[in-house]
C-alpha cells in the first residue's frame, strides 16, 4: 500500500481541489491548513467520500514542529505545498506578513524537509507573479521581475529552493499556473464574484476598466497537471500550467454576463487599478505538454458554465459567507 501524501494548504482553492482529484484515485492524504475547514461549498474534497483524508489545523508560522511530527509519523515521501499568503493587492498593506509566511516560514519548512532521507518529492506550488509584467510567451527560465510584495516574497522562496536543489540535491519540482478558476473558488476572485454580484443585484468594480490580459484555466486541468508534475517531473525543473487562450478581464466579465443574460453596463463600474498590477503574461506550457504528455480539457466557456451552475446550486450557503477577502496575519 502506498504511503499517504502531505498536502499543505489543503483549504486553499487549489489545495482542496487537488485533494478532491487525488481522493478520486483512492490516494490517502494528510491535509494541513492554518484555517478551520470552511463550508462544504468552498471545500471541493468534501463533495465526495473523504474517508481517506485526515485533516489537521496547523499553521506553518507557529506549528512547524507538529507538521514535522506528522511527516515523521507517516514517513511522508511526497509533499505538495499549496500554502501561501496569496492576495496580491493586500500584500502592500502588511508586507511583513507575506514575507513571514511565504519566505521565512516556508524556507524553514524546506530546511526541515531536506533532512528527511525518506522524502522522494517536494512539489512547490509557485506563481507566475514572480515574472512581473511580460511580453509574449513567458518561458520557465524567464528572469524574475516581481512588482508586488507578494511576488517578491514568493520569488525569494523559489530562489532559495533552487539553491537547495543545487547544493543538497533537494528533490523539488515547481509549478506555476495561470489564473485558475472553477467550482469551489473563494468568492473574492473575479469569476465567482461576478456571478454572485449578478445574482445579488450588486455593482462589480472593474479595476482599471478590466483591460489586463490573462489566460484562465479550470482547476481540474491544473490538478491533473500538478499530479503529472509530482509523479513524473524532473527534479530542479519548473513547469508552467496554462491554456493558450488569452482574454481581458472585461471580456471575461462580458462572457459571464452573456451566459447569465445580464447587461454588462448594468453590472460593472470602473475603479482605480491596484498598485503594481501586471498588465499581461501568457505562460508557455509546452514543457508540461511535451515532456509529461499533459493536455487541458475544459474550455473557458464550459468551465464558466460549470462555475455558474455551482454558484446557483449553493447560493444560499455562499450568500452567507464573506464576499471580500479577510486578511489573517
pLDDT of residue 315: 97
- CB atoms under 10 Å from CB of 313, counted, come to 12
The backbone torsions φ and ψ at residue 35, rounded to the nearest 5 degrees and listed phi first, read -100, 155
Tell me the three cell numbers of residue 36. Answer: 478551520
Chain segment 198-242, per-residue pLDDT in tens: 999 999 988 777 878 889 999 999 999 999 999 999 999 999 999
Strands (E), 104-259: 121-125, 137-138, 172-177, 179-181, 204-207, 213-214, 216-218, 238-241, 247-248
Look at phi and psi of residue 23 and say left if phi exceeds 0, alpha if psi is from -120 to 50, else beta: alpha
User: Is the pLDDT assigned to residue 280 strictly greater than 70?
Assistant: no
Report whether 210 contacts 272 (CB < 8 A).
no
Tell me the three cell numbers of residue 55. Answer: 485533516
The span from the CA of 140 to the CA of 148, in Å, is: 20
Lowest-confidence segment of 131-140, 142-151, 169-178 by average pLDDT: 131-140
Where does 52-132 have alpha helices with state H? 64-74, 95-99, 106-113
The span from the CA of 197 to the CA of 29, in Å, is: 35
- Of all residues in the chain, what percent carry a pLDDT higher than 90? 82
Residues 6+ apart with CB under 8 A from 292: 225, 228, 229, 232, 233, 239
pLDDT of residue 324: 78
Partnered with residue 173 across adjacent β-strands are 123
Report whether 171 contacts 122 (CB < 8 A).
yes
The pTM of the full predicted model, rounded to 2 decimals, is 0.94
Report whether 85 contacts 150 (CB < 8 A).
yes
User: Is the pLDDT assigned to residue 273 strictly greater than 70?
Assistant: no
Kindly list the structural domains of the chain, giving each domain's residue range(s) and its CATH number in brackets, ordered by start: 5-180+218-241 (3.40.50.720), 187-214+245-283+298-319 (3.90.25.10)
pLDDT top residue among 281 and 162: 162
pLDDT of residue 327: 67
For strands 247-248 and 213-214, give the pairing.
Answer: antiparallel
Of 262, 276, 180, residue with least CA distance to 226: 180
Average pLDDT of the chain is 93
Chain segment 26-44, per-residue pLDDT in tens: 999 999 999 999 999 999 9
Chain segment 79-133, per-residue pLDDT in tens: 999 999 987 888 899 999 999 999 999 999 999 999 999 999 999 999 999 998 7
Tell me the three cell numbers of residue 199. Answer: 445574482
Tell me the three cell numbers of residue 317. Answer: 450557503
Amino acid at each position: 500500500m502506498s504511503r499517504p501524501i502531505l498536502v499543505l494548504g489543503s483549504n486553499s482553492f487549489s489545495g482542496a481541489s487537488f485533494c478532491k482529484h487525488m481522493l478520486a484515485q483512492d490516494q490517502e492524504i494528510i491535509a494541513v491548513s492554518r484555517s478551520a475547514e470552511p463550508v462544504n461549498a468552498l471545500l471541493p474534497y468534501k463533495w465526495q467520500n473523504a474517508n481517506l483524508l485526515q485533516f489537521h489545523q496547523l499553521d506553518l508560522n507557529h506549528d512547524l514542529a507538529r507538521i514535522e511530527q506528522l511527516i515523521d509519523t507517516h514517513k511522508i515521501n511526497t509533499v505538495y505545498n499549496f500554502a501561501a499568503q496569496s492576495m496580491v493587492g493586500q500584500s502592500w498593506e502588511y508586507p511583513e506578513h507575506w514575507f513571514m509566511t511565504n519566505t521565512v516560514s516556508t524556507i524553514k519548512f524546506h530546511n526541515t524537509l531536506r533532512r528527511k532521507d525518506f522524502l522522494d518529492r517536494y512539489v512547490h506550488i509557485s506563481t507566475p507573479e514572480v515574472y512581473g509584467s511580460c511580453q509574449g510567451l513567458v518561458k520557465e527560465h524567464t528572469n524574475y521581475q516581481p512588482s508586488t510584495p507578494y511576488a517578491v516574497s514568493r520569488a525569494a522562496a523559489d530562489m532559495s529552493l533552487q539553491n537547495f536543489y543545487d547544493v543538497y540535491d533537494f528533490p523539488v519540482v515547481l509549478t506555476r499556473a495561470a489564473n485558475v478558476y472553477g467550482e469551489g473558488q473563494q468568492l473574492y476572485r473575479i469569476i465567482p464574484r461576478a456571478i454572485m454580484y449578478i445574482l445579488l443585484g450588486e455593482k462589480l468594480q472593474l479595476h482599471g476598466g478590466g483591460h489586463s490580459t490573462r489566460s484562465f484555466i479550470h482547476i481540474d486541468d491544473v490538478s491533473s497537471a500538478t499530479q503529472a508534475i509530482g509523479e513524473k517531473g524532473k527534479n530542479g525543473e519548473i513547469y508552467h500550467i496554462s491554456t493558450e487562450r488569452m482574454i481581458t478581464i472585461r471580456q471575461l466579465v462580458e462572457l459571464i454576463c452573456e451566459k447569465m443574460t445580464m447587461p454588462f453596463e448594468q453590472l460593472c463600474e470602473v475603479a482605480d487599478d491596484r498598485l503594481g498590477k501586471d498588465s499581461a503574461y501568457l505562460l508557455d506550457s509546452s514543457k508540461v505538454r511535451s515532456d509529461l504528455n499533459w493536455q487541458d480539457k475544459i474550455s473557458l466557456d464550459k468551465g464558466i458554465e460549470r462555475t455558474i451552475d455551482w454558484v446557483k446550486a449553493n447560493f444560499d450557503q455562499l450568500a452567507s459567507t464573506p464576499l471580500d477577502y479577510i486578511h489573517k496575519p
